[in-house]
Amino acid sequence: MSSSLTIIWIAILAAYCIPLWDKVYWSYGRPFSPAFATVFYTLCRVIWTVCTSLMIWLCISGKGGLINTFLSHRAFVPMARLTYSVYLCHAWLIWYFMGSRRHVMDTHMYNVLINFIHITVMSYIMGFLFFVVFESPILELQKYGIESFGRKHENRDKTSVELKLNLKSNYHNNNV
């Protein structure tokens, strides 16, 4: 790996850490200055988005290295098929979970971790059910429709090519 590519990967990974530390000072009771908070929170998501785009681009272009190998592992294939269903279901689950609380949520690291694991597992369970009930049958119908549409037009194209060849040969035979 070249030195410039190594520097790009280090910059990407360092920039990914920026959003993780956005509330550290605040959680210890230190207030942000308005100027710092404005700049930081304005650029935080933009930096994360640019880093994600660069990582995807590097992995697609074959310069992903270990990260590409890890993300391309076979174990992620079933989860990759469920991601859209999980995306559709997780917001409803979070809405229900937060709306059914009767007291303020404690933000200690242990409680946040337990809530994260709970919501992630429940999201994948709901996403799997959503995938089986809705997404998988629709994908099969689309595949069937595309195949039948392709066969119909494939036969039409063969017929039109044969007709053109016959017209050319008849025209050529009549003019000779």
CA–CA distance, 115 with 121 (Å, rounded to integer) = 10
Q: For residue 165, what pLDDT band results from cuts at 50, 70 and 90?
A: low
Q: For residue 43, what pLDDT band results from cuts at 50, 70 and 90?
A: confident
For residue 115, the surrounding DSSP H or E stretch is helix 109-130
Whether residue 100 sits in one domain with residue 25: no
Q: For residue 167, what pLDDT band results from cuts at 50, 70 and 90?
A: low
Whether residue 82 sits in one domain with residue 18: no
CA–CA distance, 175 with 173 (Å, rounded to integer) = 6
At 3, the amino acid letter reads S
CA–CA distance, 125 with 109 (Å, rounded to integer) = 24
- Residue 8 belongs to what domain range? 1-72
Whether residue 111 sits in one domain with residue 141: yes
The count of structural domains within the chain is 2
Whether residue 2 sits in one domain with residue 52: yes
Whether residue 170 sits in one domain with residue 106: yes
Whether residue 65 sits in one domain with residue 7: yes
Q: Is the distance from CB of 120 to CB of 89 less than 8 angstroms?
A: no
Radius of gyration in angstroms for the set of CA atoms belonging to the chain, rounded to a whole number? 27
What is the pLDDT at residue 35? 87
Whether residue 52 sits in one domain with residue 99: no
Pick the more confident residue, 75 or 25.
Answer: 75
Q: What is the mean pLDDT of the chain?
A: 81
Q: Which one, of 74, 166, 176, 90, lies nearest residue 125 by Cα?
A: 90
Q: For residue 145, what pLDDT band results from cuts at 50, 70 and 90?
A: confident
Whether residue 105 sits in one domain with residue 34: no
At 29, the amino acid letter reads G
Residue that terminates a domain, selected from 72, 100, 131: 72
Whether residue 101 sits in one domain with residue 26: no
Res. 176: pLDDT tops 90: no
The mean pLDDT of 118-133, rounded to a whole number, is 92
